[in-house]
């Protein structure tokens, strides 16, 4: 990519981030700041991870996706297990703002909120142009259906390399402590990340130095 194209991509991202920062589409979340800034990762990353939504103690507080809470620490451990650094990936989520219940606890974003935010996810993918997309959990996987329909599920497709919208898609489980206890334990998730590593290595010829 030429220097001017990289600069143009950076400008477009800043404009998109500013739009997200001003977004009030979801009444229950419009007072929260959208987590979409340069802290999400390099906009020319070849690998994009998509989570569910910023967590109350995590990205909503730190502004860095998957950081500051146990999910973030688990995610860092999984990345480290395959030698992938945050400087090599872009991380975003199905909903850019932190959804909370009336008690103040984290909750799942509603289907309306996911739909509201789908335009931002679509435009982020179009801008970053990742070769590999890794979804973390069901909500992120389902959110992609709104952009380009698929029938993948975690039950059938977890840790398998699929083709989606002219990219490689690898559905993974969410790294939350609850999922690690109930659905996909540590050793299984570590194996899942090996699939990501292999997929990246297969594409290494077309990747930037560092891969």
Where on the chain is the footprint of ligand SF4 (CB under 6 A)?
Answer: 20, 23, 25-26, 29-30, 34, 95-97, 113, 116-117, 120
CB of 3 to ligand SF4, least distance (A): 30
Both tokens assigned to 139: 């909500």
Report DSSP state, residue 105: -
CB of 143 to ligand SF4, least distance (A): 11
Q: Which is nearer to ligand SF4, 98 or 189 (CB)?
A: 98
Both tokens assigned to 164: 């989606």
CB of 34 to ligand SF4, least distance (A): 4
Q: Which is nearer to ligand SF4, 16 or 141 (CB)?
A: 16
Both tokens assigned to 129: 């142009």
Give which of 121, 94, 88, 72 is closest to 200, Cα–Cα: 88
Q: Give the containing element (helix H, strand E) for 182.
A: helix 177-182
Greatest pairwise CA separation for the chain in angstroms: 50
Coil, strand or helix at 89:
strand
Q: Note whether 154 and 171 are within 8 A (CB).
A: yes
Backbone angles phi, psi at 176, to 5 degrees: -70, 155
CB of 170 to ligand SF4, least distance (A): 24
Q: Which is nearer to ligand SF4, 13 or 120 (CB)?
A: 120
Q: Which is nearer to ligand SF4, 7 or 101 (CB)?
A: 101
CB of 30 to ligand SF4, least distance (A): 5
Q: Which is nearer to ligand SF4, 95 or 141 (CB)?
A: 95
């Amino acid at each position: 990519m030429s220097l001017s194209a990289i600069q143009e991509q950076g400008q477009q991202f800043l404009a998109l981030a500013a739009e997200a920062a001003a977004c009030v589409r979801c009444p229950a979340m419009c007072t929260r700041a959208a987590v979409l800034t340069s802290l999400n990762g390099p906009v020319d990353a070849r690998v994009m991870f998509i989570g569910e939504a910023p967590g109350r103690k995590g990205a909503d507080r730190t502004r860095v996706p998957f950081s500051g809470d146990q999910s973030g620490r688990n995610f860092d451990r999984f990345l480290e297990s395959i030698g992938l650094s945050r400087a090599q990936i872009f991380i975003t989520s199905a909903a850019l703002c932190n959804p909370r219940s009336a008690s103040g606890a984290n909750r799942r974003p509603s289907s309306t909120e996911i739909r509201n935010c789908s335009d931002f996810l679509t435009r982020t993918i179009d801008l970053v142009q990742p070769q590999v997309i890794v979804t973390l959990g069901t909500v992120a996987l389902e959110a992609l259906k709104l952009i380009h329909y698929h029938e993948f599920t975690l039950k059938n497709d977890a840790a398998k390399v699929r083709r989606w919208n002219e990219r490689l898609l690898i559905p993974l489980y969410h790294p939350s402590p609850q999922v690690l206890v109930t659905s996909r334990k540590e050793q299984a998730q570590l194996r899942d990340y090996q699939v990501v590593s292999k997929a990246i290595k297969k594409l290494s010829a077309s990747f930037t130095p560092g891969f």
